[in-house]
């Protein structure tokens, strides 16, 4: 049987973890800090759990320079759970802000509450929009979930990137082709910063969203902590843990405090019921205000999973010091460059699926010999013989996918690059 050191794993998620964290986790799961209990057994409301929560927040704040006017939440349900959470919370924010505005504008003393409701109901029906930038399978799923919850009339697909690429994902069309709703009508605009299935990554924050007073939501599940981001440009950043951060079971949300009470109160459930907006008010365990009020401990948070994420973050802080996440960004870029340079060197053998302008540094999607099924099976079998694992593409698109997450060491990337060379030259 191969050892952990011999296997080079490129799976898309769950993804590799630093060996040091795995080994420390094995001990912590049995007997954490010699307390006689494992981390899977301690109370989520204990001082130990609270310290883990505090330390993890501190490491994340350090790495991303998160400003004081943002809150960090730890939740469950993964990235897919956030598809629903974003809708229920930010539509609620839109409704409450419109309600406050209507209340200020209507001066009547008799039947004021009813007049406010009638105005609000009219605005919900005629103006409420949720904008989605669809550039791959995950942003498509997010838009589909929004449609399921609030109905198609309220969901604006501002971009479907498939229209620019023969019905397939692989490009991000120019921003002047996007059809965003008027900002006053938009509850939020959503995009997925890195599409795990399709290998598409935004090179930078969309400029069209910089000059507009919009609530911007980004799903960073698969490129979280792989490059520096200006948190101030986002209203909500979320990500599931099982790519670059830890193990499945928690999701991380970074949210502007202005979207939470007391700055923006949660609308009354009775009001949302009367307005009849899809699935609102929604589940309490997906409610940002509730989670924030309870310091992420409204329900039982999986503390072991949180500890793993915290250890990964702490190791990044220790490794890169004053460089913070920019240090990891340099490594991530270098690893991606090594692999793409080999793939581009042999165009007769390899075809990188996404356009060069939007190639993901995290998920490198390519085809072998034009997507010939037998050739790709042969390629994967040869990789397995060298203990290069997890390279099969997502079932929905096929092909090959090498996921280049933070915990994939440089030497494993070099092993894969050597195999790509050898296969292309007939020396595999």
CA distance 36 to 403: 38
- Maximum pairwise Cα distance, the chain: 85
Degrees to nearest 5, angle at CA 333 with 327 and 336: 145
Residue-level pLDDT at 279? 81
CA distance 161 to 165: 7
CA distance 384 to 323: 36
CA distance 202 to 179: 18
54-305 matches 4-17+324-425 in CATH topology? no
Locate the domains of the chain by residue range. 4-17+324-425, 54-305
Fold held by 4-17+324-425: 3.90.1150
CA distance 233 to 220: 14
For the chain, the three-class secondary structure string (H helix, E strand, C coil) is CCCCCCCEECCCCCCCCCHHHHHHHHHHHHCHHHCCCCCCCCCCCCHHHHHHHHHHHHHHHHHHCCCCCEEEEEECCHHHHHHHHHHHHHHHHHHHHHHHHHHHHCCCCCCHHHHHHHHHHHHHHHHCEEEEEECCHHHHHHHHHHHHHHCHHHEEEEEEHHHHCCCCCCCCCCHHHCCCCCCCCEEEEEEECEECCCCEECCCCCHHHCCCCCCEEEECCCCCCCCCCCHHHCCEEEEECCCCCCCCCCEEEEEEHHHCCCCCCCCCHHHHHHHCCCCCCCCHHHCHHHHHHCCCCCCCCCHHHHHHHHHHHHHHHHHHHHHCHHHHHHHHHHHHHHHHHHHHHCCCCEEECCCHHHECCCEEEEEEHHHCHHHHHHHHHHHHHCCEECCECCCCCCCEEEECCCCCCHHHHHHHHHHHHHHHCCCC
* CB-based contact 386:422 (threshold 8 Å): no
Degrees to nearest 5, angle at CA 141 with 135 and 146: 110
- Torsion angle of the four alpha carbons 53, 57, 63, 68, in this order, in degrees rounded to the nearest 10: -170
Q: How many CB atoms lie within 10 A of CB 283?
A: 13
Residue-level pLDDT at 249? 95
Tens of pLDDT, residue by residue, the chain (428 residues): 899 999 999 999 999 999 999 999 999 999 999 999 999 999 999 999 999 999 999 999 999 999 999 999 999 999 999 999 999 999 999 999 999 999 999 987 789 999 999 999 999 999 999 999 999 999 999 999 999 999 999 999 999 999 988 899 999 999 999 999 999 999 999 999 999 999 999 999 999 999 778 999 999 999 999 999 999 999 999 999 999 999 999 999 999 999 999 999 999 999 999 999 988 999 999 999 999 999 999 999 999 999 999 999 999 999 999 999 999 999 999 999 999 999 999 999 999 999 999 999 999 999 999 999 999 999 999 999 999 999 999 999 999 999 999 999 999 999 999 999 999 999 87
- Our measurement of the distance from residue 404's CA atom to the centroid of its chain's CA atoms, rounded to an integer in Å, reads 16
Tens of pLDDT, residue by residue over 172-198, are: 999 999 999 999 999 999 999 999 999
Fold held by 54-305: 3.40.640
CA distance 258 to 278: 24
Tens of pLDDT, residue by residue over 45-103, are: 999 999 999 999 999 999 999 999 999 999 999 999 999 999 999 999 999 999 999 99
* Nearest residue to 55 (alpha-carbon basis) of 315, 324, 302: 315
> Residue 392: beta bridge partners?
400
User: How much is the CA Rg of the chain, to the nearest whole Å?
Assistant: 23
Residue-level pLDDT at 103? 94
Sign of the CA dihedral running 74, 75, 78, 81: negative
Residue-level pLDDT at 165? 81
Bond from prior residue into 262 cis (ω within 30 degrees of 0): yes
Strands 194-195 and 216-219: unpaired
């Amino acid at each position: 049987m191969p050892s952990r050191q011999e296997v080079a794993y490129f799976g898309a998620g769950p993804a590799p973890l630093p060996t040091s964290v795995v080994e420390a986790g094995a001990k912590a799961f049995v007997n954490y800090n010699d307390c006689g209990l494992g981390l899977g057994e301690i109370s989520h409301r204990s001082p130990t759990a609270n310290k883990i929560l505090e330390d993890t927040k501190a490491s994340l704040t350090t790495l991303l320079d998160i400003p004081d006017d943002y809150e960090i939440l730890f939740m469950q349900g993964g990235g897919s759970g956030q598809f629903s959470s974003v809708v229920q919370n930010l539509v609620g924010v839109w409704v409450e802000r419109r309600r406050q505005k209507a209340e200020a504008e209507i001066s009547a003393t008799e039947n004021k509450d009813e007049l406010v409701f009638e105005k609000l109901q009219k605005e919900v029906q005629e103006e409420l929009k949720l904008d989605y930038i669809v550039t791959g399978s995950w942003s498509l799923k997010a838009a589909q979930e929004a449609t399921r919850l609030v109905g198609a009339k309220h969901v604006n697909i501002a971009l479907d990137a498939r229209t620019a690429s023969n019905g397939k994902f692989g490009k991000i069309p120019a921003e002047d082709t996007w059809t965003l709703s008027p900002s006053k009508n938009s509850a939020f605009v959503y995009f997925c910063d890195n599409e795990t299935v399709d290998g598409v990554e935004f090179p930078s924050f969309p400029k069209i969203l910089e000059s507009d007073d919009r609530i911007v939501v980004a799903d960073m599940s698969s490129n979280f902590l792989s490059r520096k981001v200006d948190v101030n440009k986002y209203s909500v950043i979320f990500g599931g843990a099982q790519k670059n951060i830890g193990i499945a079971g928690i999701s991380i949300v970074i949210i502007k405090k202005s979207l939470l009470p007391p700055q923006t109160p949660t609308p009354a459930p009775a009001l949302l019921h009367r307005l009849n907006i899809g699935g609102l008010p929604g589940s309490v365990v997906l409610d940002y205000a509730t989670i924030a009020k309870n310091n992420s401990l409204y329900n039982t948070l999986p503390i072991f999973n949180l500890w793993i994420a915290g250890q990964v973050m702490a190791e990044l802080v220790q490794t890169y010091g004053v460089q913070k996440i920019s240090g990891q960004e340099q490594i991530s870029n270098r690893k991606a460059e090594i692999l793409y340079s080999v793939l581009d060197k042999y165009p007769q053998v390899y075809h990188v699926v996404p356009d060069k302008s939007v190639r993901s540094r995290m998920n490198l999607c390519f085809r072998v010999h034009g997507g010939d099924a037998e050739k790709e099976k042969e390629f994967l079998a040869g990789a397995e013989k060298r203990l290069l694992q997890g390279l099969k593409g997502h079932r929905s698109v096929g092909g090959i996918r090498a996921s280049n997450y933070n915990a994939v060491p440089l030497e494993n990337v070099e092993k894969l690059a050597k195999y790509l060379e050898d296969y292309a030259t007939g020396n595999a």
